[in-house]
Chain A
Amino acid sequence: MTDSPPRRGSGSPGRQAPAAAEPKRVFAPDFLTELFRNPLDPGYADAAARKAVEGSPAGMRRWFTRAASLITLIALGFLFVVAYQQTIADEPARTKARAALLQQVQSRRDQTTQLQNQADKLGDDVAKLRERELGGAAVAQLRDMEAATGLAPVKGDGAKIKLGDGPTPINPVTGERNTVARVKDTDLQLATNALWSLGAEAITINGQRLTATSTIRQAGEAILVDFQPVTTPYEVLAIGPADMAKDFRDGYAGKFFKELATKYGMSFGASDVRNVTLPAATELKLRVASPIPPPSASAPVSSSGSVSSSPSEGGR
């Protein structure tokens, strides 16, 4: 196909000879073959042949066709720009939809935070009232229990474990991101379990306090700690024995993370921290509750009713 057009260039006068003799246009029977062999519109050859016979058009007519072709060229440029702008305009529409969704997510998140703050404030009120009513040893005991279960903020010395995603290069062939160096939920679970086993009394992941019923789960690319998304770099703070960071580094989890760091480029660090404050857990839903044995058989219903009617506060 590549060497046929030169032949065509020299062959076209031969083709035009019968066309000039007989003005009736002959159409090639095999359209595709003709298309490949001779991509130029046959009209140009015909026009050239006509010019050769009749001579170039002169005067008004010549200027008219010239102007028409210029207008066509202007229309062409116009068309290209319009098509280009249209293609560009399609993209912002998509981005706009994405931005709107992001905004919605953000506003809902703000709402959640606001409600959480309100709940915390009400919880504080409840705690204060309880303190006033109970007083003394009962409150101290309650506080200890709250600190142990994660319902009260605690302060002390401990260890800080830092974990961060390694590089996630995009495969140039498939366009997929290689996520092997990303911190997984199991990594965080391993770290927290190791800390618990080393005697940690309280643990937070990126400020999320863990309780006995906390979950660390992967949801797509995000890791959710108690349904709150946390992102890299992950900072696991634990309050516990003085040599916890060293023990962690020497233990199975520390060796595992060091291995990951050297193999995949994830970042890992364990260090001692002094005098850190870990916040209280955001919520602890009461899942199982049994009524306190009633002091008298006369009011068992009201006692159990009061526990189940305020499930979230019943545990506090």
Chain B
Amino acid sequence: MIAVLALAAGVVLGIVLGPTVPPALLPYLPIAVVAALDAVFGGVRAKLDGIFDDKQFVVSFISNVLVAALIVYLGDQLGVGGQLSTGVVVVLGVRIFGNVAAIRRHLFRA
């Protein structure tokens, strides 16, 4: 409950502040969102599994976003940014999908 409130607070904060993203960071935004989604669904699933851990959640979120951004940055420097982004999205997408499937089984027993 508090977690949902905190998420809503972040959304409100984003709407109120309405920050402009510096152009240099723009390519990393979609990847960061996918990495963040992975952390969120991982956290929800761990909560339902009963093994949620605050520290693990924070660390996984920060490291996910940073590593994803780093991979995209490296890819851009090497000229394979698009392919590496695809790789990141595939790996994180598989994890998100697996975790959502586990959440679904928890919620609907099916």
Chain A contacts to B: CB under 8 angstroms: 1-2, 5-6, 9, 35-36, 38-41, 43-48, 51, 65-66, 68-83, 85-86
Which are the 6 A-B pairs with shortest beta-carbon distances? A77-B10, A39-B98, A81-B14, A48-B51, A47-B53, A74-B10
Find chain B residues with CB under 8 A from A51 CB. 53
Residues 25-56 (chain B) with a chain A CB within 8 angstroms: 26, 29-30, 32-33, 36, 39-40, 42, 45-46, 49-56
Q: Total number of A-B contacts with CB less than 8 angstroms?
A: 135
Find chain B residues with CB under 8 A from A45 CB. 51
Q: Besides the contacts A6-B105, A41-B46, what 20 more A-B pairs have beta carbons closer than 8 Å?
A: A38-B98, A39-B97, A39-B98, A40-B102, A44-B46, A44-B49, A44-B52, A45-B51, A51-B53, A65-B54, A68-B58, A69-B57, A72-B61, A73-B6, A75-B10, A76-B10, A77-B6, A77-B7, A79-B36, A80-B14
- A51–B53 Cα distance when bound, in Å, is 9
Chain B residue at minimal CB-CB distance from A82: B14
Q: Do residues B54 and A69 form an inter-chain contact, with CB atoms below 8 A?
A: yes
Chain A proximity mask over B71-102: 1 for CB below 8 Å, otherwise 0: 00000000000000000000100111111011
Chain B residue at minimal CB-CB distance from A74: B10
B62 at the binding interface (Cβ < 8 Å): yes
Find chain A residues with CB under 8 A from B6 CB. 70-71, 73-74, 77
Chain B residue at minimal CB-CB distance from A63: B54
- A86–B30 Cα distance when bound, in Å, is 10
Q: Do residues A73 and B3 form an inter-chain contact, with CB atoms below 8 A?
A: yes
Chain B residue at minimal CB-CB distance from A51: B53
Q: Do residues A77 and B9 form an inter-chain contact, with CB atoms below 8 A?
A: yes
Q: Do residues A77 and B29 form an inter-chain contact, with CB atoms below 8 A?
A: no
Give the B interface residue count (CB, 8 A).
50
- A40–B41 Cα distance when bound, in Å, is 9
Q: Do residues A40 and B29 form an inter-chain contact, with CB atoms below 8 A?
A: no
Q: Do residues A5 and B98 form an inter-chain contact, with CB atoms below 8 A?
A: yes
- CB-CB under 8 A for A36 and B8, given A44-B51, A80-B14, A82-B29: no
- A65–B50 Cα distance when bound, in Å, is 17
Q: Do residues B91 and A35 form an inter-chain contact, with CB atoms below 8 A?
A: yes
Chain A residue at minimal CB-CB distance from B10: A77
Q: Do residues A78 and B11 form an inter-chain contact, with CB atoms below 8 A?
A: yes
The smallest beta-carbon distance between A220 and chain B, in angstroms, is 32
Residue among B18, B55, B97 with max Cβ neighbours from chain A (10 Å): B55
- A152–B36 Cα distance when bound, in Å, is 73
B2 at the binding interface (Cβ < 8 Å): yes
Find chain A residues with CB under 8 A from B70 CB. none
The smallest beta-carbon distance between A21 and chain B, in angstroms, is 19
Q: Do residues A76 and B59 form an inter-chain contact, with CB atoms below 8 A?
A: no
Q: Do residues A86 and B29 form an inter-chain contact, with CB atoms below 8 A?
A: yes
Find chain B residues with CB under 8 A from A35 CB. 91, 94-95, 98
Chain B residue at minimal CB-CB distance from A66: B54
The smallest beta-carbon distance between B35 and chain A, in angstroms, is 9
Find chain B residues with CB under 8 A from A75 CB. 10, 61
The smallest beta-carbon distance between B80 and chain A, in angstroms, is 19
- CB-CB under 8 A for A69 and B58, given A44-B52, A74-B7: yes
